[in-house]
Amino acid sequence: MKGFAMLSIGKVGWIEKEKPAPGPFDAIVRPLAVAPCTSDIHTVFEGAIGERHNMILGHEAVGEVVEVGSEVKDFKPGDRVVVPAITPDWRTSEVQRGYHQHSGGMLAGWKFSNVKDGVFGEFFHVNDADMNLAHLPKEIPLEAAVMIPDMMTTGFHGAELANIKLGDTVCVIGIGPVGLMSVAGANHLGAGRIFAVGSRKHCCDIALEYGATDIINYKNGDIVEQILKATDGKGVDKVVIAGGDVHTFAQAVKMIKPGSDIGNVNYLGEGDNIDIPRSEWGVGMGHKHIHGGLCPGGRLRMERLIDLVFYKRVDPSKLVTHVFRGFDNIEKAFMLMKDKPKDLIKPVVILA
Ligand code: NDP
Ligand code: ZN
């Protein structure tokens, strides 16, 4: 079978591989829609998690089951499924500790395009199908459905990590597709005022549609000053970081009140250390909590997100700005994610 792969750091291309076979609990899935992720760009072009050779890329897919192992109970060939970006080994101590994302080691629940071939192949392998797949209702279009495996779960997790409560004033730093879902998540969790930090007009417009009340352009001056000015010097209750770099944490710490939470879902591709400003961190005693996490995966999380879409609480299709058709266009969609033209939020490739 054919797949679009990371050949080595900085290099991508098409390769041929054996079609995968399922173990007793596993499934083989044919993708019906896929999307490239900014994380793939960090992985390939920044070498952020180290060298990978001839690894098929991609971790955002909905698909059709083509084969299942002898022990799979709830899925059969022909079923349409949402495949989470994170597909943990559920029989691990990390799961018992409450962190399935790290089953088997740090970040090891993230398998596709990290430790095994991803979803940009004609077929891909899903471990523990009954625990890691979710049925896709026929009413949800593929373009919207493929925003569930990563964009919705990650953006919403940013809002969860920031521990947002009713009436909180929240700042979401970064409003690409992930941050836009954090804005929607903050809105659903009951935030009062929501600042959205970005620069591209299209992203700002969609942020307002998802519930942002104020837009801050980081290219118009220091965002800390802009936030403090807009809040009469008080700052915000919660911050979600979904963009920026290692320096963004200092800004978050400076703009947040004591007794507060910062939730980071940004994948830090570069830099050795994160600076925390000593004084604004309450000289170590400010109760300004910093959380950072990989998005939740697995079946139950997907089923809950599917409900949010099915019952029209969230419309993730607003994220989709570019739709391609056909397997060969995966490369074009992938390169768009690298180049980030002004009108791009998220490209999708339909393979059905
Ligand atoms: P995008 O690149 O599309 O969006 C990044 C956003 O950050 C844009 O709004 C951009 O502004 C803004 N931004 C860039 N620089 C700054 C800055 N210096 N200060 C403030 N804002 C800034 O990324 P995605 O939304 O696709 O992904 C966001 C991050 O989430 C990525 O690092 C990705 O790898 C990561 N990720 C993490 C996952 C997890 O499980 N934790 C899963 C999936 C993704 P603009 O473009 O408007 O100028
Ligand atoms: Zn991703």
Q: Which ligand is nearest to the CA of 178?
A: 1
Q: Which ligand is nearest to the CA of 119?
A: 2
Q: Is 180 in the pocket of ligand 1 (CB under 6 A)?
A: no
Q: Is 83 in the pocket of ligand 1 (CB under 6 A)?
A: no
Q: How far apart are CA 144 and CA 224, in angstroms?
A: 34
Q: Which ligand is nearest to the CA of 112?
A: 2
Task: Report CA(6)–ligand 2 centroid distance (Å).
Answer: 15
201: number of Cβ within 10 Å: 12
- Atom 26 in ligand 1: which residue has the minimum CA distance? 38
Predicted TM-score (pTM) above 0.75: yes
- CATH of the domain spanning 157-292: 3.40.50.720
Query: Ligand 1: which of 267, 305, 336, 338 to mutate, judged by most atoms within 8 Å of the beta carbon?
Result: 267
Domain 2-146+315-350, what architecture? Alpha-Beta Complex (3.90)
Q: What is the pLDDT of residue 111?
A: 98
Atom nearest to 158 CA in ligand 1: 41
Atom nearest to 265 CA in ligand 1: 41
Q: How far apart are CA 92 and CA 101, in angstroms?
A: 11
Q: Are 139 and 310 in contact (CB under 8 A)?
A: yes
Q: Is 251 in the pocket of ligand 1 (CB under 6 A)?
A: no
Q: How far apart are CA 90 and CA 339, in angstroms?
A: 37
Tokens for 216, please give them: 């801050």
Same fold for the domain at 2-146+315-350 and the one at 157-292?
Answer: no
Atom nearest to 264 CA in ligand 1: 41
Tokens for 111, please give them: 């398998």
- Atom 44 in ligand 1: which residue has the minimum CA distance? 39
Q: How far apart are CA 208 and CA 183, in angstroms?
A: 9
- Atom 12 in ligand 1: which residue has the minimum CA distance? 174
- Atom 42 in ligand 1: which residue has the minimum CA distance? 154
- Atom 29 in ligand 1: which residue has the minimum CA distance? 266
Q: Is 257 in the pocket of ligand 1 (CB under 6 A)?
A: no
User: How far is residue 1 from each of residues 13, 17, 53, 277, 309, measured CA to CA in Å?
Assistant: 14, 5, 17, 51, 33
What is the full per-residue pLDDT of the chain (352 aa) written as tens digits? 999 999 999 999 999 999 999 999 999 999 999 999 999 999 999 998 999 999 999 999 999 999 999 999 999 999 999 999 999 999 999 999 999 999 999 999 999 999 999 999 999 999 999 999 999 999 999 999 999 999 999 999 999 999 999 999 999 999 999 999 999 999 999 999 999 999 999 999 999 999 999 999 999 999 999 999 999 999 999 999 999 999 999 999 999 999 999 999 999 989 999 999 999 999 999 999 999 999 999 999 999 999 999 999 999 999 999 999 999 999 999 999 999 999 999 999 999 8
Domain ranges of the chain: 2-146+315-350, 157-292
